A and B are shown apart, each in its own frame.
Chain A
Amino acid sequence: MATKVIMPKLSPTMEEGQISRWLKKEGDKVSMGEPLAEIDTDKATMEMQALGNGVLRKILIGEGQAAPLGQLIAVIGEPDEDIASLLSEAPAPPQVQEKKEPDAPPQPQDQKEADRPPTAPNVAPANGRQPQAADSGRMIVSPLAARMAAEAGIDLRSLQGSGPGGRIIKRDIEAVISKPAPAPAPSYVQHAGASVYRDEPASQIRQTIAKRLVTSLGPVPHFFLTAEIEMDRAAEMRKGINALDPDLKISINDIIIKVAAAALIQHPQVNASYQEKIVRYYEHADVGVAVAIEDGLITPVVRAADQKSLSQIAAEVRELAERARSKKLKPEEYTGATFSVSNLGMFGIDEFTAVINPPEGAILAIGAMTAKPVVRENEIVIRQMMRVTMSCDHRVIDGATGAKFLQTFKKILENPLYLVV
């Protein structure tokens, strides 16, 4: 089998090496451990030894030429072996490392080191990421540092180890933990059960708005938007669906949840929450549904309501509400909503304002649906009207942003066919 000869790491700080002299010519017999070439590193001229037996078939980097670490510089093989496929790889990218090539110690003859399994792959998956060879070879990290990094969600590849040979050790992890976390790059993160979200750095103006509004209006600076919505078509749809299958028992509130979720997906700025120095945007609409219980109120969460059918939402809300009343909800079932809906229509409330459930960005207060005279095409007609008031967290939602969301919500609810378009 042919052996690739790659530019070895012959000094701890070496990034590339220059071939000073080839000690073998193409066609010469070479055996394992025999000096093959002299290489100028950033520090000294070092001898490179052959890591395979056979014939030096091809020299790819001539004397006086330089190659980065890991690049294919020659091929050792049997005299009649086909090495075309190996040659086609040249010049190999630096991270392609010949398996037998020792990378940590400066002495290429240390074969034992090369036989050890690399540390990095044991570590990186703990961060939920694929292991990746570092430019200069495997990552060296103490077991404790690896565990601490995994627990703190620190990407080891972002660190420079301060231990011997660049080993990442406890104090390197502690230094990162004690430092204020840098604003994370926008990327989606998945927590068990809850919605996927991405964190984006809050802009300076957003941070300033946040600070000022908090100091002027209390911990969560609310503002309120009210709209009156014509509910005839929604009511008609509900009646129609329930006529198909009385077991479905779809309520107006279920339709509101579904519509809110659809509108949230169209307005991601509203499906968001303000956290210290970041604004968190959720990918799914996890809608909290306020349920009155004996000594207070609780908001069980319909996860990913945007992806559920009306019948699923109806069944889920019914089931959650029942267990909420019997106080059998698990904590993960009533926390972590991205938006909430509170409905006091059944109490005959025309309109009201609800208090946001932090860290959600908004809550929608639903009033009673009542028949009212309204003007349509210059005529007074009777319509089922419902007033909704959205409370917004001004740190994350501005007036126009909330208004646009409410506009969409109203449009869909007045024309529920949009749900299927």
Chain B
Amino acid sequence: MGEPQLCDISVSGRQGIKFPSPDVPTYPLPEDFIREDLPLPELSELDVIRHYTRLSQFNYSIDTGYYPLGSCTMKYNPKINEETARYPGFAFSHPLQPVETVQGNMALMYAFQEMLKEIGGFSGITLQPAAGAHGELTGVLIINAYHRSRADSQRKKILIPDSAHGTNPATSAMSGLKVVEIKSDLRGNVDLDALKMECDDTLAGLMLTNPNTLGLFDEHVEEVIRLVHSAGGLIYGDGANLNALLGIIRPGDLGIDVMHFNLHKTFSTPHGGGGPGSGPVGVASHLVDFLPGPVVGIIEEGDDDMPPLYGFITPPKSIGRMKAFHGHFGMIVRAYTYISMHGGEGLRSIAEYAVLNANYLLSLIKSTYHLPYDRFCMHEFVVEGQWADAPDIHALDIAKRLMDYKFHPPTNYFPLIVHEALMIEPTETESKETLDAFAQALIQIADEAHQNPRLLKDAPHITPVGRLDEVKAAKELVLCCGVSSLEK
């Protein structure tokens, strides 16, 4: 592949951008505090542009190909989102400006809160959380605060189905809760008997991903929620899979007490190679007072001639602030753009076609790949990447071989409850032709697995780099340019 590191192309004396000379008198620099050396690279603007343009070409992305990564909702990210978020009125506003000077931002945030309330069926929204995991932490802290406020703080147990995202247990542990795993039944639902055993007065709540990570809508969801509520617990909804539910059902109507939204999954804000995300949290009416502060509210009602005056309001029993300032405003502008372009019916189409695409793709491959739970799926599904008559082949090999067909592989080895899992989420923005081509590649790879397993074992062949030595990376720990090994 061979793109050198920045420090290797640095030449002393180069500078990619210059700044004006001071137009004020200069002042003595604080001698005791001046650093002697600043070992940053020295490059021209063209050096930098070529370097990063070349690096970009080593990436796979939605803009360059099909990316059916389960649980990640890799849908197309409309270009208009990038443009609106960069309007100078948004991009150059300071978070601590007097609210009277930023009523455009405030109106947008208020309207966006209202949109999420309507879509999710909630009574209140915080836009502060920076990502899904951050939203989860917010939600669990709200659950704790609710129980504390009712002098019910012995509730320290949180139930997490074995099909949950890995963040759920980590979040609960961060919040001081004890995690108890609930197994799935034979149809991939929460096992009701296992659940009943844990419903007592130490129960803080249950973290429910529905549709779950198998891509299945829990057939007893109402009963699950009823059991938890009647034991005094609350239901946390993991909104990572909301793409399947837009306009199909509102989680709040179902009795979910608190849920995060992933704007970077459901509402098309770009994943950016791992962020920034945005994870607003919605709550039912009994939890509105606990939301992190501040939220945007109307301070003075408007009339026919005057728009209302929006301001920041801290809820009375707020759990506090989850980060500095008001959340990932730039991502909120993008998601607002996207929702506005769809309206209610458009959102429902998103879910319908996301679910149609998943079921269609499943219908094409399920005679080739074993499907552990044979039901209609929602927006994604999980099959096994293994065959008894091809014992050396693992899901990983199938994933790597898909790269040779110029597809990004599905999520593999997750969820943990399926052996050699391949978790596939097509999304609604992919055409039938793309799904057909992807299914054909999977079927061909299954054939190769039996006829010529070496092809899979040695894959990928056409990518900029081949399989990596991950053990070496962890053992030698070379984490910075010019430093040979951290462990020496």
Q: Do A and B come from one complex?
A: no
Please give the residue numbers on chain B whose beta carbons come within 8 Å of chain A beta carbons, in ascending order. Answer: none
| Chain A residues close to B by CB (< 8 Å) | none
